[in-house]
């Protein structure tokens, strides 16, 4: 079981910033759970849509509820024309997380949340349409085509994403890996982006503002952006031996190795074993051992030298690469998943709200004397 760090100091480490019934992270005897269910069991047995339903609605759906839910989500994949126009005007070299942020914000202009009674509809719409947003922009700006985001008949959100991206139905294995990946990324307590969403929700702002703010937080390389940074690292390596040398040099320079370490876990991230297993399976299917063996070597060197372990992002890099997903789309996939956790937290915050407004320890001058502008140095 993953152990939790003894925490203190900056970054609000180790301080409880509120209550949640959604998730435990590294709790003794529990580990990572979503509403009491073991994340590893969900990743093994559930569909992502079941997990999203669980997070947002508080219980696992029965068969009829799941069928109706998936069918509703499928019916919401279409993009409004005005949103397509916006996406077509975002340059090819824009960061895809900026595309997600703008796409979400534009959606909020077109389908504004008027009051909280419709929040579930808006949440379902975002879950359904986010893969369409990123794939429409990507295919338009990179392949010069205007895709019909309703065209894919695949039920799953992960399968829908791959179909739009590659213009063909994914293999069963690829759909299965996407499903597990989306479940791993769905929820993680008061991480930076979720906390951002809750702070925004606590002002009684609208749901698109909460999610847009969260996307901005997730974009950074210390958070969601780590999977892209990990990919760039392993792709720069030629084989396991050279990877070991490169990591040793980077550690000597005190460089950060992206995809390692965690703000809460101290010895392992329970999500790593799951995505690592899928990465290995994909590498075997492809008959391509290089990236996987480099990744394994980096993992063992980091543990040997620094007792630092892979977090959820590290083996996601090779797994996504093996499925032919361009590196720049890695973090947007995280968005397509985490929107379930973010919005469940927004609902939870709204249900028992007090504006989040902490204090700060003042470190400035005790008192300063006013000097008129002519007399200032
Ligand atoms: N590579 C190299 N050194 C690392 C490291 C990494 N990935 N993660 C932590 N360290 C080092 C820190 O620099 C620090 O060294 P110092 O004591 O000499 O300053 C030490 O390990 C302890 O850091 P810690 O307090 O455990 O990290 P944190 O809680 O402040 O930050 C992360 C947690 C996740 C932000 C941090 O581990 C990190 O930046 N990882 C890389 C980015 C990443 O993968 N993010 C995704 C998180 S899911």
- pLDDT tens over the chain, length 377 residues: 556 665 556 888 888 999 999 999 988 877 899 999 999 999 999 999 999 999 999 999 999 999 999 999 999 999 999 999 999 999 999 999 999 999 999 999 999 999 999 999 999 999 999 999 999 999 999 999 999 999 878 999 999 999 999 999 999 999 999 999 999 999 999 999 999 999 999 999 999 999 999 999 999 988 988 999 999 999 999 999 999 999 999 999 999 999 999 989 989 999 999 999 999 999 999 998 999 999 999 999 999 999 999 999 999 999 999 999 999 999 999 999 999 999 999 999 999 999 999 999 999 999 999 999 999 99
**Run of H or E including 26:** strand 23-27
Q: SS3 breakdown of the chain: % helix, strand, coil, rounded to 5?
A: 60, 5, 35
Given the residues 122, 188, 269, 313, the one annotated as active site: 313
Active site residue 223: yes
Instruction: Output the CA 261–ligand 1 centroid distance in Å.
Output: 5
Tokens 């499928």 sit on residue: 74
What class has domain 23-221+330-351?
Answer: mainly alpha
> For ligand 1, atom 18, which residue shows the shortest CA distance?
254
Q: Cβ neighbours of residue 238 under 8 Å, at least 6 residues apart? A: none
**What distance in angstroms lies between residue 301's CA and the mean position of ligand 1's atoms?**
16
Residue 295 to residues 37, 128, 218, 370: CA-CA distances in angstroms?
30, 33, 23, 59
Listed in order, the ranges of the chain carrying CATH 1.10.580.10 are: 23-221+330-351
Angle between helices 48-57 and 119-143 (to 10 degrees): 140
Q: pTM score, two decimals?
A: 0.94
**322 contacts 231 by C-beta, under 8 angstroms:** no
Whose Cα sits closest to atom 46 in ligand 1?
223
Instruction: Specify the residue with its C-alpha closest to ligand 1, atom 31.
Output: 263
313 catalytic? Reply is yes
Ligand 1, pocket-test mutation among 261, 265, 314, 317, most atoms within 8 A of CB:
261
Instruction: Tell me if 178 sits within 8 A of 186, measured CB to CB.
Output: no
Length of the chain equals 377
CA of 262 to the centre of ligand 1 (A): 6
Alpha carbon nearest to ligand 1 atom 44, residue: 259
Gyration radius of the chain's alpha carbons: 22
C-alpha closest to that of 320 among 284, 349, 283 = 283
Q: Which atom of ligand 1 is nearest to the CA of 263?
A: 29
Q: Per the structure block, which two tokens stand in for 331?
A: 């973090």
Ligand 1 pocket, CB under 6 A: 222-223, 226, 256-263, 308, 311-313
Domain 226-322 in CATH 1.10.230.10? The answer is yes
Is residue 174 annotated as a catalytic residue, yes or no?
Answer: no
Distance 268 CA to ligand 1 centre (A): 13
Closest listed residue to residue 248, CA positions, set 210, 297, 312: 297
CATH 1.10.230.10 location in the chain: 226-322
pLDDT for 79: 98
Q: 259: CA distance to ligand 1 center in Å?
A: 9
pLDDT at 5: 63
Nearest CA to ligand 1 atom 22: 261
Beta bridge partners of 37: 34
Contact predicate 193/222, CB 8 Å: no
Q: Which of 134, 148, 123 is nearest to 101 (CA)?
A: 134
From 262, 269, 316, 345, active-site residue: 262
- Residue nearest ligand 1's atom 20 by CA: 261
Strand order across the 37-38 sheet: 23-27, 31-34, 37-38
């Amino acid at each position: 079981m993953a152990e939790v760090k003894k925490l203190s100091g900056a970054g609000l480490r180790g301080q409880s910033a509120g209550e949640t019934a959604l998730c435990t992270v590294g709790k003794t005897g529990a580990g990572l759970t979503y509403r009491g269910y073991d994340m590893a069991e969900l990743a093994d047995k559930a569909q992502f849509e079941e997990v999203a339903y669980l997070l947002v609605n508080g219980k696992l759906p029965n068969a009829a509820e799941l069928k109706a839910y998936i069918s509703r989500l499928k019916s919401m994949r279409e993009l409004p024309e005005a949103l397509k126009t916006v996406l077509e005007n975002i340059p090819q070299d824009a960061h895809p997380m900026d595309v997600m942020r703008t796409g979400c914000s534009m959606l909020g202009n077109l389908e504004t949340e008027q009051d909280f009674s419709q929040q579930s509809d808006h949440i379902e719409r975002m879950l359904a349409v986010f893969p369409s947003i990123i794939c429409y922009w990507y295919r338009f700006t990179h392949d010069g085509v205007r895709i019909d985001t309703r065209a894919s008949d695949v039920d799953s959100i992960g399968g829908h994403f791959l179909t739009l991206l590659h213009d063909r139905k994914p293999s069963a294995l690829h759909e299965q890996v996407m499903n597990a990946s989306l479940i791993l990324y769905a929820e993680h307590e008061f991480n930076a982006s979720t906390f951002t969403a809750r702070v925004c929700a606590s002002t009684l702002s609208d749901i698109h503002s909460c999610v847009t703010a969260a996307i901005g937080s997730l974009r950074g390389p210390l958070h969601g952006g780590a999977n892209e940074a990990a990919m760039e690292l392993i792709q720069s390596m030629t084989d396991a031996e050279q990877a070991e040398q490169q990591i040793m040099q980077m550690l000597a320079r005190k460089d950060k190795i992206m995809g390692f370490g965690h703000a809460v876990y101290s010895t392992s991230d329970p999500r790593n074993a799951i995505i690592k297993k899928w990465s290995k399976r994909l590498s075997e299917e492809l008959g391509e051992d290089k990236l996987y063996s480099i990744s394994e070597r980096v993992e063992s060197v980091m543990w040997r030298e620094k007792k630092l372990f892979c977090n959820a992002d590290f083996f996601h890099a090779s797994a996504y690469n093996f499925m032919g997903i361009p590196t720049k789309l890695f973090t947007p996939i995280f968005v397509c998943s985490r929107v379930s956790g973010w919005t469940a937290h927004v609902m939870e915050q709204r249900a028992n709200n007090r504006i989040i407004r902490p204090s700060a320890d003042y470190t400035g001058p005790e008192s300063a004397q006013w000097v008129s502008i002519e007399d200032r140095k």
